[in-house]
Structure 1
Amino acid sequence: MEKQAQTRIRLVLVPCPYQGHINPMLQLATILHSRGFSISIVHTQFHAPSSENHPDFEFISLPDSLSDDLISSGNVSAILVAVNANFHEPLTDCLVQMMQSEKERGKVACIIYDELMWGSEAVANSLGLSSIMLRTNTVSAQLGRNLVLQLMRDGLVPLQDSLLQEPVPDHYPLRYKDLPVSHFKPAQNFEEIVTKISDVRSSSAVIWNTMFCLEDSLLEQVRQRCSVPNFAVGPMHKFAPCLSSSLLAEDFSCMSWLDKKADSSVLYVSLGSIACISENELSEMAWGLLNSKVPFLWVVRPGLVAACSKWEAPLPRGFKEAVGDMGCIVEWAPQKEVLAHKAVGGFWSHCGWNSVVESISAGVPFICRPSFGDQRVTARYVTHVWKVGLHLEDELKGDEVVRVVRRLMTEQEGTEIRKTALELRKAVENSTIKGGSSFNDLENLFDMIRSF
């Protein structure tokens, strides 16, 4: 999309302070900037995004008043509730200052906020500003959250063991065990979060980082029920230049290792930026990958194993020596570049939505090992609706790792899944070209913003 003349219309974007939410918000900011809008990123001090790769944006850090104990607890639900409560006054003061200096800074047209920063909508409404909600997950995951909320109100959460394997009526392919039930305490926090993000309130529109070719019927349901426009503009990273917004340092040395491997021969393994596993699970993964005899690039980030901050410590004794050049182990990888590399033929993923979007866009199939929340919903759609992956469920054992890795990477079943993944990549590509569904929704979004 060609860059148009600067309009001096300023957009204020408020990201949620987690990697999987920062990435799509900065991608959206890059797309909007390419169309002439001035961009201000207003963010928390906690997990503050880097401004290094975005010199044209204004970054404004506001106090979030999170205690060290709350941050170290890792209780995402409690952190989000606290952030929204604490951020109201600083965000209000910031926006008032921006509105008072519009002659120098440009008119503030609207606030675009991550759905998990729901307090931003109330601030915008109190100041007479338009707001737009960004949903960084899937429509299927959002509908799953709404169902969990209803189950909670009916007193059915926690779910009974006898129900877990049963299919959820009218929600194929989900089983009750796949629903995004939160295990963070207290349960009231999760209920508050889902209640807040389910209601667009005074917002003028909703933006989704998804595609019509993936969720056509679900998007139609949402559009029929919702009183404001819903724009499906994914995959946003395909509309924006490939600039890193990673909170962790990316190790590009793995790219030269990939250059030496045969096409579609390498399994990329990454469980995202938040999920934790036990030391025993890490050991079963390690020996399973080794015994599969399939080359692998494995991200073992600091904190992947609970209570371990050093990535080398928990790896089994003698593992790295036994692997040799068959494997490459890094703390963090440049994921979009890795998935685009011709040597990568599969992705063992936690099924966070950013990772799934990037892999589908690259035509790379999955081994799904979801950790929590929306990831379980997404994994079922990957394996049972879009049919571009295998699900590695239940207790993690080395023998099962070997079996599933070989199924995807060396057997005929994997060849067929890879063919489906390439077909889906083509459908996604078609959505981003002129006349495609995502392209058209972006154009409509631009027109709406200019009308404010």
Structure 2
Amino acid sequence: MYTFQNVGSMFPDSDYEASVPEFPLLKFKDIANITINPQGMGVLTSNMLNQMRASSGIIWNTFKELEESDLETLSQDFQVPSFTLGPFHKYFPASSSSLIEQDRTILSWLDKQPPKSVVYVSFGSVAHITESEFQEVAHGLANIGLPFLWVVRPGMVVGSEWLESLPEKFLERVDDRGRIVKWSPQQEVLAHPATGCFWTHNGWNSTLESICEGVPMICSPCLADQPINARYVSDVWKIGVLLEDGFERVGIKMAIKRVMMDKEGEEMRERVSSLKEKVNLSLAEGGSSCRSLNNLVDYISSF
């Protein structure tokens, strides 16, 4: 079971917030959040890197314009043909691979909301959240006063089947301003004109989906690649806000305000809208992802 957690107790305060010397973008707390089994992750990563170097080629789920400098660095370490075909989800609908039934009734609810007014919240299909964290999220959403769509996976809250841990009279308090569903058609929600921001765990698929629809993010990473993705969202691409200290209602309200109400949020929206345009160009005829796909076909055909 993977849970969102604050791992500050693992390091002295000075080290916890310090940058990692080899990767200055990251803080020690980001590294600590990557895995609960450092030794096992080290073995897995080492094996993966060895296999990549021995492969006939590497296919990346990204587009060149998003990570060009990093891809150039990787090409020096992995001297095999490389193909940036992403974002993969643009080639097929997510509903074809969904493991949980999607609640499509929320689309008609979104139709009734003002443009860019809705906070969309979903922490993916794996991570869990404690009861106290769940209640802090609920209070944060209630206190900001904006419409919200919150995906609460059955069993996501540790010790609860679904919504038993909501604060008392929470549903009466938010009324029709808030909707809670077990699962959503995420690509359609992100593409909807009413969606103003995406509060996400920053799995790579969710991160790319948000970029593709031009939606700025609030980041609550849990494990694996998510802390790194979140750092890129907040510190490199500057298209979102990272909740540095976990789930706390005041911090949640401030983060939502920054993205949804402040000038800073407008600037994030402009940057992510620019990336959306670059995605579309990369997938179009002659674009970087389209060319890379054609190159992959030619490469496979040459064997």
Q: Same fold (TM over 0.5)?
A: yes
Q: Which amino acid aligns with 1:386?
A: W
Q: 1:261 aligns with which of 91, 113, 123?
A: 113
Q: Which amino acid aligns with 1:388?
A: I
**What is aligned with 1:345?**
196
| Displacement of 1:242 | 5.2
Q: In 2, Cα distance between the equivalents of 1:337 and 1:371?
A: 24
**What is aligned with 2:265?**
414
Q: In 2, Cα distance between the equivalents of 1:221 and 1:271?
A: 31
**What is aligned with 1:376?**
227
TM-score by length of 2: 0.92
| Displacement of 1:447 | 1.4
Q: In 2, Cα distance between the equivalents of 1:273 and 1:282?
A: 16
User: Is the counterpart of residue 326 in structure 1 residue 164 in structure 2?
Assistant: no
User: Is the counterpart of residue 449 in structure 1 residue 300 in structure 2?
Assistant: yes
Indicate conservation of the 8 Å contact 2:34/2:225, yes or no: no
Indicate conservation of the 8 Å contact 1:300/1:311, yes or no: yes
> Which of these two proteins has the greater Rg computed from alpha carbons?
1
Indicate conservation of the 8 Å contact 1:180/1:376, yes or no: no
| Displacement of 1:448 | 1.8
Q: 1:431 aligns with which of 282, 288, 301?
A: 282
| Displacement of 1:237 | 1.5
SS of residue paired to 2:295: helix
CA RMSD of aligned residues (A): 1.9
SS of residue paired to 2:120: strand
CA deviation map 1:321-364 (0-9, x unaligned) = 11111011001111001001010010001111000000000000
Q: Which amino acid aligns with 1:277?
A: I
Q: In 2, Cα distance between the equivalents of 1:190 and 1:280?
A: 29
Q: In 1, Cα distance between the equivalents of 2:209 and 2:41?
A: 28
Q: In 2, Cα distance between the equivalents of 1:206 and 1:237?
A: 18
Indicate conservation of the 8 Å contact 1:178/1:377, yes or no: yes
Q: Give the alignment of 1:227-306 within 5 angstroms.
A: 227-241=79-93, 243-306=95-158
Q: Compared with structure 1, are the counterparts of its residues 339 and 248 closer, same or farther at alpha carbon in structure 2 (3 Å cutoff)?
A: same
User: Is the counterpart of residue 209 in structure 1 residue 44 in structure 2?
Assistant: no
Q: In 2, Cα distance between the equivalents of 1:364 and 1:450?
A: 38
SS of residue paired to 1:213: coil
Indicate conservation of the 8 Å contact 1:211/1:428, yes or no: yes
The share of aligned pairs that are identical, in percent, is: 45
| Displacement of 1:412 | 2.0
User: Is the counterpart of residue 184 in structure 1 residue 8 in structure 2?
Assistant: no
| Displacement of 1:159 | 6.1
CA deviation map 1:75-112 (0-9, x unaligned) = 8xxxxxxxxxxxxxxxxxxxxxxxxxxxxxxxxxxxxx
Q: Compared with structure 1, are the counterparts of its residues 167 and 384 closer, same or farther at alpha carbon in structure 2 (3 Å cutoff)?
A: same
Q: In 1, Cα distance between the equivalents of 2:69 and 2:44?
A: 26
Q: Which amino acid aligns with 1:298?
A: W
Q: 2:252 aligns with which of 374, 398, 401?
A: 401
Unmatched 5+ residue regions in structure 2?
A: 3-9
SS of residue paired to 2:196: strand
**What is aligned with 1:84?**
none
Unmatched 5+ residue regions in structure 1?
A: 1-73, 76-157
Q: In 2, Cα distance between the equivalents of 1:273 and 1:307?
A: 17
CA deviation map 1:375-420 (0-9, x unaligned) = 1111110011111001112142212211211221122221221111
SS of residue paired to 2:65: helix
TM-score by length of 1: 0.62
SS of residue paired to 1:379: helix
How many residues are aligned here? 296
Superposition misfits of 4+ residues, deviation over 6 angstroms? none
Q: Give the alignment of 1:6-17 within 5 angstroms.
A: none
SS of residue paired to 2:67: helix
**What is aligned with 1:195?**
46
SS of residue paired to 2:96: coil
Q: Which has the higher contact order (CA 8 A, sep 6+)?
A: 2
Q: In 2, Cα distance between the equivalents of 1:388 and 1:405?
A: 13
